[in-house]
Structure 1
Amino acid sequence: MAAVHDAAARCIESQDFEGAQALLQDVVSAGAAPMPIWRLLAVALRAQGKAEEGRDILAMLARQVPGDLSNRFDLAETLLLLGDFERGWQEYRYRYSLAHTRSIERKVQRPRWDGQPIPGQTLLIHDEQGYGDTFQFMRMARWARARSQARVIFEVNPETLTIARRMWGDEDLVARGTLPVTFDRHCELMSLPMAMGLTLADLPGDVAYLSADPERVAYWRARLADVPKPWVAIVWAGRPEHVNDRNRSVTLAQLAPLGASGATFLAIQKGPAAAQAGTPPAGMTMVSLSDGIRDFEDTAAILHLADLLVSVDSSPVHLAGAMGRPVWVMLPFVPDWRWLLDRDDSPWYPGMRLFRQPARSQWTPVIERMASELTTFVAQWRRNVE
């Protein structure tokens, strides 16, 4: 068993998921198999887009070994990917019991809010994960304020504080890491879906609940005054340290076909990949804004002015979506759970289009389709301004 497990693990590491499945299927079909074999089989199935088969295995393991919280978390993400919000949010609460998430858990000596009205009490809602998560779920903080009938204090990371203020107001908004406030109950931002029983039918709710700072918009409008339109903001890589980055990111060179559209591309890429904008592909008109972007307020202002954002799965996608701006997102064959499966739109953001890989690692069809659509988009834009 150990030899099969190790061989299958090597297959998964090299992304030979079909090979891993074949090895593991032989073992499980012969009778009882240890839990690690089943876990690897679920990984191999999901990576091939067989999410329902993977879900069934993870659900079986959750029944057999309910204390394996890592499995419960994998089950949560698979359920959410399949759109089963009712069960998915319940399982998602196990995320803080894992080694890689324990460090970000807020140790709170107060009960977690259960979604019921608590008039006269104070509720602390605190963000917890990445910037994209914060932008995506900020809308639910306002929903919770209405439902709880409580005084709600919203605690966010300092990098998104000023953006949150325009949505929330000046009162009862604090930056994470400041002096603690007194409260009766608390809820993590991404536990609000569980507390409030969020379903797909509840989405999108508030549209354009975030906005750009008018002063930053004026600054970037003046800076871009001589740049030919239409403007397409572009991001081609996520954070390199992200666990799934090799599946979700591309190089700027791969996006060369987009240049034939005639758009001007505003590079808002951050991190090591931003250097690629210095040598854009031939035929692609590009203005690199990355060095001038000081914070998310600059990003928001540029997105406010841009006619479109084209991006891989990244935090600007959620910021633009939350602002109600047009967004085209390039997604890997098996995406993050929030993008669901088999649809080219997003229930979270009405102005968003999803361009999915037809098979694992196949970006070329995605880029070719996007290039064709972008040519049409630019032609339509020009007709509208004539």
Structure 2
Amino acid sequence: MSGAAELEAQGHAHLAAGRPEEAERCARQALAAGGGAVSLWHLLAVTLRVQGRVTESLKVYTLMVDRLPGNLTIRFELAELLLLLGDFERGWREYRYRYNMVHTMPLERKVQRPRWDGRPIPDRTLLIHDEQGYGDTFQFLRMVAWAKRRSQARIVLQINHEQVSFARRLKGMDWGGADALVLRGVLPPPFDAHCEMMSLPMAMGLQLSDLPNQDRGWTPYLTPDPARVKRWGRRLKSLPRPLVGLVWAGRPTHLNDANRSMSLERLAPLAQTGATFLALQKGPAADQASSPPPGMRIERLSDAIADFEDTAAILTHADLLVSVDSAPVHLAGALGRPAWVMLPHVPDWRWLLERDDTPWYPTVRLFRQPARGDWDSVIRDIAGTLRGLGGGRRG
């Protein structure tokens, strides 16, 4: 093995072990010794991004894309970096490569119609289909009505079974949303053009300034099921307030889950806030609610939560949601419910950088790690702020 190859292998090992500074040292040493392989530059770009040196990382990614425009993995990673920095114009354009990589090609839906480019297509039918995770769908459902107005077309929305009920109640459907709904996996009616839900921003040239905010009359675009709201109201009415929904772990199969999730035990400082916590956690981590940190008053609700409709109804009664970056955050934001999000030092692109609010959801507040892996500071800030809300106070 050559010196450069050995240093590269060491760099990847350091990166996998959570030592990006050492990985950077290996990458730079190999590059200085004359190793110019794109994999070394890629290693350097990733190590800089993980350390939070996003601007430096962007320069390396831009250099790689200029020299290797056909490397679509690098272009997709560049897209996420651009979006994280708020450069939506370039970011959405590069984001279209998300299904052109070797490992994502099988996920792309093969559609024998042109992708909508944002221009009006009156008297024609536009198929919009959801993609990726549940949180993505909750976040971008708002754009269906916008696409209806822009395209002047008949809109057919194809969506997964778990979220179709929300789409049926989507605010704006009576003034320009979907004209028809069809489940994913079911053959849609004939259509003239299509667009993935997360390609709508590219087609419509979405900018940060286009996102409606509180000052411009922003209103929630999702609503809960009234029957579920009534049912959960009966169950939760006797619990002492404030009622705080709690989610401490995301989907384990998510590529970045180790960076965004934690254990319930780590949230022990929240036990002293006087709140009643509603464990909305699903999946393997839900069992942790059976043995919470000492002094934490927690109601394990996971067994009674059948779907997102139950989660939405609970959030309607809760004073607040405290959560890692997960689908319930997007559901709370789309419902207009207050939520506090615990974010890693370098978060997912949609949360941007260096701000405690988000243009996507006016009712959501962000609590960021000040340094990589520093959840303790985040939890202390959450606990202190939560104590300041006062018992019994509605969100």
What's the TM-score once normalised by structure 1's chain length?
0.97
Residue in 1 that maps onto 2:264: 252
| Cα distance in structure 2, aligned partners of 1:35 and 1:139 | 39
1:67 corresponds in structure 2 to: 70
Which ranges in structure 2 are unaligned for 5 or more consecutive residues? none
Deviations 1:206-258 (A, max 9, x none): 53100100000000001112211221000000011111111101111111111
Residues 107-151 of structure 1 deviation map (CA, whole Å, 9 limit, x = unaligned): 001010010111011000000110000000000111001110000
Report SS of the residue matched to 1:179: coil
Matched residue SS, 1:33 = coil
- Matched residue, 2:244: 232
Matched residues in 2 for 1:374 and 1:236: separation?
16
**Which secondary structure does the structure 2 equivalent of 1:275 belong to?**
helix
Instruction: Supply the distance in 1 between the matched residues of 2:273 and 2:308 (Cα, whole angstroms).
Output: 28
- Aligned partner of 2:313 in structure 1 is 301
Partner of residue 213, structure 1: 225
1:321 corresponds to which letter in structure 2?
G
1:158 maps to 161
Aligned to 1:323: 335
Q: Distance in 2 between matches of 1:85 and 1:207?
A: 23
Aligned counterpart in structure 1 of residue 204 of structure 2, from 190, 196, 199: 196
Aligned to 2:31: 28
Q: Distance in 1 between matches of 2:342 and 2:367?
A: 5
Cα distance in 1, alignment partners of residues 359 and 82 from structure 2: 16
- 8 A contact 1:207–1:349 mirrored in 2: no
Q: Report the secondary structure of 1:160's partner residue.
A: helix
Q: How big is the shift at 1:378?
A: 2.6
Contact 1:236 1:269 in 2 (8 A): yes
Q: Please give the alpha-carbon distance, in whole angstroms, between the structure 1 residues aligned to 2:179 and 2:125.
A: 13
Render the CA deviation track for 1:150-208: whole Å, top value 9, x for unaligned: 00111111100001110046841111111232100000000000000000101136531
Distance, in Å, in 2 between the alignment partners of 1:283 and 1:266 is 14
Q: Which amino acid aligns with 2:210?
A: D
Q: Which residues of structure 1 form unaligned runs of 5+?
A: none
| Maintained 8 Å contact 1:235/1:269 | yes
Structure 1 distance, partners of 2:126, 2:151, is 8
161-170 or 290-299, which deviates more: 161-170
How far apart, in 2, do the equivalents of 1:89 and 1:275 lie?
A: 39
| C-alpha contact 2:147 2:200 (8 A) present in aligned 1 | yes
Counterpart for residue 47 of structure 2: 44
Q: Secondary structure at the match of 1:266?
A: strand
Equivalent in the alignment of 1:15: 18
Structure 2 counterpart of 1:198, which letter?
A: L
User: Structure 1 residue 173 and structure 2 residue 181: aligned?
Assistant: yes
1:315-354 to 2 correspondences below 5 Å: 315-354=327-366
Q: SS at the partner of 2:169?
A: helix
Contact 2:278/2:301 (CA < 8 Å) preserved in 1?
Answer: yes
CA contact 2:155–2:179 (8 Å) conserved in 1: no
Q: Distance in 1 between matches of 2:331 and 2:188?
A: 27
1:357 paired with 2:369, answer: yes
1:230 and 1:99 map into 2 onto residues whose CA distance is: 48
**How many Å apart are 1:354 and its aligned residue?**
0.4
Q: Is 1:98–2:101 an aligned residue pair?
A: yes
Q: How does 1:128-143 map to 2 (within 5 A)?
A: 128-143=131-146
Q: 1:258-289: CA deviations, max 9, x gaps?
A: 12111110101000000000111111111111
Question: Is 1:313 paired with 2:321?
Answer: no
Contact 2:8 2:30 in 1 (8 A): no
Give distance in 2, aligned partners of 1:361 and 1:344: 18
SS in structure 1 at match of 2:145: helix
C-alpha root-mean-square deviation of aligned residues, in Å?
1.4
Residue of structure 2 equivalent to 1:57:
60
Equivalents in 1 of 2:5, 2:292: separation in Å?
Answer: 48
Does structure 1 conserve the Cα–Cα contact (< 8 Å) formed by 2:15 and 2:47?
Answer: yes
Structure 1 SS opposite 2:277: strand
| SS, match of residue 201 in structure 1 | helix
Letter aligned with residue 369 of structure 1: D
Shift of 1:96: 0.4
Q: Percent identity?
A: 58
Q: Tell me by how many angstroms 1:30 deviates.
A: 4.8
Equivalence for 1:376: 388
Instruction: State the aligned residue count.
Output: 383
TM-score normalised by L of structure 2: 0.94
> Is the 2:137–2:197 Cα contact (8 Å) retained in structure 1?
yes
